[in-house]
């Protein structure tokens, strides 16, 4: 009798343990499913993004205003400070900083900073046009400035904004080289390789609402005027209605 009672007790404990385990598993499953549902909804709410593509030397990894980089790969550049990575997606272009230190750091990089001329900017625009056509990108605003480019692009069904930016940079570089306008041409190596005219990463700000999207479009359209340049009209830009 005692053995039978002990067996029943063990069976009950196993059953209760199984129920508890199943309960925990179900709870984790529900939470995981809820997490992925929230994440999916968040992804769906991304209407587009404001992208900033920097020309080489425009934004260094140890820029005092912040950067996208975790480290500084050049010893010559490291003496001006360690990497200043920031987590914010908001622009920090106008954050107060030591301009003299920033200018001195630029002199320590491997090649001269790239500054597109008007003719080179036109070639960059032609490259963007080819990429936009090839990738079916819906671009609502674009300003190509001497040291960086602003674009507002709608969310793409198959490509990330990083992939789109890489595509735009590659097409613009090809356009510059085909026209003999690549500012990095003097630094071509014996094997034909040459430095990129672009910074390695991009700055992107996700846009979740239509009012924010319209504000971003207006900002990019008006941006050249901050440098006392006229507004730009590009064939690959679709006006926002």
Give the residue with greater pLDDT, 240 vs 201. Answer: 240
What is the percentage of the chain residues whose pLDDT exceeds 70? Answer: 60
Closest of 123, 131, 114 to residue 178, by C-alpha:
123
List CB contacts of 151: < 8 A, sequence separation 6 or more: 50, 51, 53, 128, 139, 141, 142, 168, 220
Q: Are residues 54 and 66 in the same domain?
A: no
Q: Are residues 148 and 55 in the same domain?
A: yes
CA gap 170, 181 in Å, rounded: 14
pLDDT for res 55: 92
Whether this model's pTM surpasses 0.75: no
CA gap 127, 129 in Å, rounded: 5
Query: Across residues 206-225, what is the average pLDDT?
Result: 94
Beta bridge partners of 202: 53
Q: Are residues 136 and 201 in the same domain?
A: yes
Question: Over the chain, what is the mean pLDDT?
Answer: 75
Beta bridge partners of 77: none
Q: Please, what is the angle between helix 118-135 and helix 161-178, to 10°?
A: 130
Q: How is residue 136 annotated by DSSP? A: T
CATH number at residue 224: 3.30.70.1290
pLDDT for res 148: 92
Q: Are residues 117 and 202 in the same domain?
A: yes
Query: Across residues 105-117, what is the average pLDDT?
Result: 73
Q: Are residues 76 and 55 in the same domain?
A: no
Contact 128, 142 (CB under 8 A): yes
Contact 209, 165 (CB under 8 A): no
Q: Are residues 167 and 178 in the same domain?
A: yes
Q: Are residues 101 and 134 in the same domain?
A: no
Boundaries of domain holding 26: 1-44
Q: Are residues 70 and 40 in the same domain?
A: no
Q: What share of the chain is helix, strand, coil (3-state, %, to 5)?
A: 45, 15, 40
Give the residue with greater pLDDT, 228 vs 241. Answer: 228
pLDDT for res 86: 39
Q: Are residues 153 and 131 in the same domain?
A: yes
Q: Are residues 94 and 183 in the same domain?
A: no
Q: Are residues 17 and 50 in the same domain?
A: no
Contact 146, 112 (CB under 8 A): no
Return the C-alpha torsion angle 176, 177, 179, 181, nearest 10. 60
pLDDT for res 59: 57
pLDDT for res 8: 57
What is the percentage of the chain residues whose pLDDT exceeds 90? Answer: 51
Give the residue with greater pLDDT, 20 vs 125. Answer: 125
Contact 152, 213 (CB under 8 A): yes
Q: Is 15 helix (H, G, I), strand (E, B) or coil?
A: helix
pLDDT digits (tens, 9 = 90+) for 143-153: 999 999 999 99
Number of domains in the chain: 3
Q: Are residues 139 and 24 in the same domain?
A: no
CA gap 214, 232 in Å, rounded: 17
pLDDT digits (tens, 9 = 90+) for 45-101: 899 999 999 998 875 444 444 444 333 333 333 333 444 443 444 444 454 545 554
pLDDT for res 182: 97
């Amino acid at each position: 009798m005692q053995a039978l009672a002990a067996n029943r007790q063990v069976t009950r404990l196993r059953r209760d343990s199984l129920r508890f385990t199943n309960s925990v598993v179900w709870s984790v499953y529900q939470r995981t499913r809820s997490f992925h549902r929230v994440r999916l909804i968040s992804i769906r709410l991304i209407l587009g993004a404001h992208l900033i593509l920097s020309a080489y030397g425009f934004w260094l990894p140890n820029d005092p205003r912040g950067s996208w980089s975790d480290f500084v790969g050049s010893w010559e550049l490291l003496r001006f400070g360690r990497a200043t990575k920031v987590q914010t997606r908001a622009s920090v272009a106008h954050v107060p900083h030591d301009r003299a230190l920033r200018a001195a750091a630029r002199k320590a990089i491997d090649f001269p900073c790239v500054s597109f001329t008007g003719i080179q900017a036109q070639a960059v625009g032609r490259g963007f046009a080819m990429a936009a056509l090839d990738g079916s990108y819906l671009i609502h605003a674009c300003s190509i400035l001497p040291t960086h480019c602003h674009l507002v692009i709608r969310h793409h069904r198959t490509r990330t904004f990083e992939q789109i930016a890489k595509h735009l940079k590659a097409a613009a570089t090809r356009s510059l080289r085909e026209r003999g306008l690549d500012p990095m041409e003097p630094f071509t190596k014996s094997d034909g390789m040459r430095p990129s005219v672009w910074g390695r990463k991009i700055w992107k700000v996700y846009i979740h609402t239509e009012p924010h999207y319209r504000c971003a479009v207006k900002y990019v359209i008006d941006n050249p005027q901050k440098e006392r340049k006229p507004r730009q009209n590009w064939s690959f830009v679709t006006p926002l209605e």
